[in-house]
Structure 1
């Protein structure tokens, strides 16, 4: 073993805290890189530490990345490696390398610093400290975005979280990629099909953006950089995006399908990004519900029971109805009332109550229960907080 170092976000955040008075948010995890065999080092730790200190040791990948917990702190231990991209947007080819090579494969200068735990020194080969001081986010190489366009989404994540601005040459990289990349997703030409690996990485970065970051600011940055067209041209021109996603958050919905509702073909984009199958089905059903609202919905002034019967006979899940609410169609209020209240109303009696009262088992019981539920629905008042 030549070197063992802390790398990445923990080094960046510690410097921001110590030198630039940024709040310290604690350690989500620690990333260690070793010049040598990470699996062998993990085994040494296992021999030197008791089982109550070293727990949940798991090995991943061909190069033996190891995830473990030491004294309750999550650690990711990896062998230093170097990589190159055989063609743009493909997964990189990786081989064992030095710590210097490992830092050179990272995304931004501020993430390409390390603290050598043996020598006790900070390693900053790419002027990350200067960019921290100026609040600047800079891609590490002139071909960073060309090699991996998902770094554009990562740039929006970090810029929104840290309040940093993107260096001009980095913006130029994004402009060049958006202009020249043969995105089948927007061009519709099967000869330029995007690599499946790229689709998976894009989805993962979007998931992180929507789940962990100030997503409104991050998406606004992607729009400013003209980068949403990498997913779908219409997402780049989506004036209702922020309002729709705020409604989705308010209604407890996952943000990804709500974001994709702004695409020209939400289902197609969802399939390309390989989002969960249930969410793909919701988007398909959203299209059906929207068509129904255009063709044969009840009148806006119809009673709650009429609206409930009309919605429920199609079998749409509540999540689908709520997603359509975020689009604010003309009928959004009865849809929201059904989602928030009407669907939960039950008949005051049960089938067992009716039989005990002398009703004979059969279809008449079901009809009476439906009549009772409709009566309760129509007496309800539904001016809930969501409508104000």
Structure 2
């Protein structure tokens, strides 16, 4: 086996050794090499052992000091170091000649969960115990540095060969239900299936699943795992497994099936929505649209979004989608309306006429008003009046309602003139 980012890792070993710190490469970098995959492009996970309570923080401090003294390896620049003292970990963000590199340093530790989805309590431990706290045997592989000794305590290589997902202990998925979503991601990425005993453990958890009270950490982790799912290259395959492996039930009790055409709907909304509002990634928007597909009332969908701690703007958007649907059903707008009438109605406060909300509704199969919503989104809302506010003020108009009314009249003329069906 070979080292990813060998210059960086060899430098880390060199500064760790005088501090009596032992480094081990763990997780994806080891697993992917055994699978014959390319070395990771931007993520490294290292476990740090040593005499200090949290040896990873000792190493992080040494790295920060070296960066301040311009002593990092040639071609490496430390952009950020974020320590997490409660867990004995630190995350490094580095600029390299090949792009960004994220390097996670974790002190070897044990974890205990007070209840499902809780923040774990942690204690300093050794590498063997640290590997045991992980999710699947295929992620509990380690390479000791610098001699590249492979450590496989839980049969990870065997499970890779058998193309199966094996949980490490009987309480694994009960302690952290989001491991089910992680299983979906790995299943789609590497074409893996559950080991029978591990699927039984997942089924037991799902059959007794209530959303645990007072578990904000669970919501944040579940959102993160779902966003990572939708960022996968094969996210459509992951979506299929999410349905087959009952992952939808983590969002809403009893949710078993997605509507027909959901993958196409999520794909379009993620891609086009990110063009409309670049502040959100396609993965975030696909997750938002998945919540909207839940077979529940609007208020329940907002409750799902709140539990997942999605951004406030997207939480509010669920309400705007509900307003738009309610307006379309209540008013049943006429196909004979002029473009300016559609524009005025959609842009009326309380009707939900926001670009992302309109996009989501018009992409739903069978939406009767799809043509008009699409025209508003692409043309009518972008139309400006031929004469602007400054010109009207020069003509004697005073700031206020009359000026606004005249501006709208001028804009309506342009909408109807330039955007005929």
TM-score when scaled to structure 2?
0.80
Q: 1:364 to 1:259 in 2, by over 3 A?
A: same
What is the CA deviation profile of residues 133-180 of structure 1, one whole-angstrom value per residue up to 9, with x for unaligned ones? 232222222321122111000111111222322323222222211112
CA distance in 2, matches of 1:44, 1:360: 67
CA distance in 1, matches of 2:191, 2:346: 44
CA distance in 2, matches of 1:308, 1:71: 47
Residues 158-197 of structure 1 mapped to structure 2, 5 A cutoff = 158-181=186-209, 183-184=210-211, 193=213, 195-197=215-217
Aligned to 2:28: 9
CA contact (8 A) 2:340 2:416 kept: yes
Aligned to 2:131: 103
Residues 218-233 of structure 1 mapped to structure 2, 5 A cutoff = 218-233=238-253
CA contact (8 A) 1:154 1:205 kept: yes
**More deviation in 244-253 or 42-51?**
42-51
CA distance in 2, matches of 1:290, 1:202: 28
Aligned to 1:244: 265
For residue 323 of structure 1, the aligned residue among 360, 364, 370 is: 360
Aligned to 2:371: 333
CA contact (8 A) 1:341 1:382 kept: no
For residue 343 of structure 2, the aligned residue among 304, 308, 311 is: 308
Residues 269-280 of structure 1 mapped to structure 2, 5 A cutoff = 269-280=304-315
Deviation of 1:47 after TM superposition, in Å, equals 6.0
Deviation of 1:378 after TM superposition, in Å, equals 2.0
SS at match of 2:91: strand
CA contact (8 A) 2:178 2:218 kept: yes
**More deviation in 344-353 or 204-213?**
204-213
Deviation of 1:355 after TM superposition, in Å, equals 5.2
> Any unmatched runs of 5+ in structure 1?
185-191, 384-388
- RMSD between superposed Cα atoms in Å: 2.5
CA distance in 1, matches of 2:302, 2:66: 53
Q: Does 1:94 align with 2:122?
A: yes
CA distance in 2, matches of 1:41, 1:95: 18
Aligned to 2:91: 67
CA distance in 1, matches of 2:409, 2:182: 54
SS at match of 2:35: helix
Q: 1:46 to 1:242 in 2, by over 3 A?
A: closer
Aligned to 1:146: 174
Aligned to 2:56: 38
CA distance in 2, matches of 1:277, 1:352: 36
> Any unmatched runs of 5+ in structure 2?
1-19, 275-284
Q: 1:92 to 1:35 in 2, by over 3 A?
A: same
Aligned to 1:188: none
Q: Does 1:155 align with 2:183?
A: yes
Deviation of 1:300 after TM superposition, in Å, equals 2.6
CA distance in 1, matches of 2:254, 2:378: 31
**More deviation in 336-345 or 212-221?**
212-221
SS at match of 2:150: strand
What is the CA deviation profile of residues 331-359 of structure 1, one whole-angstrom value per residue up to 9, with x for unaligned ones? 12211221121100111221333455x55
Q: 1:216 to 1:380 in 2, by over 3 A?
A: farther
CA contact (8 A) 1:3 1:118 kept: no
Q: Does 1:377 align with 2:415?
A: yes
Deviation of 1:256 after TM superposition, in Å, equals 2.1
Q: 1:219 to 1:99 in 2, by over 3 A?
A: same
Instruction: Count how many residue pairs are aligned between Structure 1 and Structure 2.
Output: 369
Q: Does 1:208 align with 2:200?
A: no
CA distance in 1, matches of 2:173, 2:302: 27
Q: 1:242 to 1:131 in 2, by over 3 A?
A: same
CA contact (8 A) 1:298 1:310 kept: no
SS at match of 1:237: coil
What is the CA deviation profile of residues 285-308 of structure 1, one whole-angstrom value per residue up to 9, with x for unaligned ones? 211111111101421332211100
**More deviation in 258-267 or 358-367?**
358-367
Q: 1:256 to 1:121 in 2, by over 3 A?
A: same
SS at match of 2:154: coil
CA contact (8 A) 1:64 1:78 kept: yes
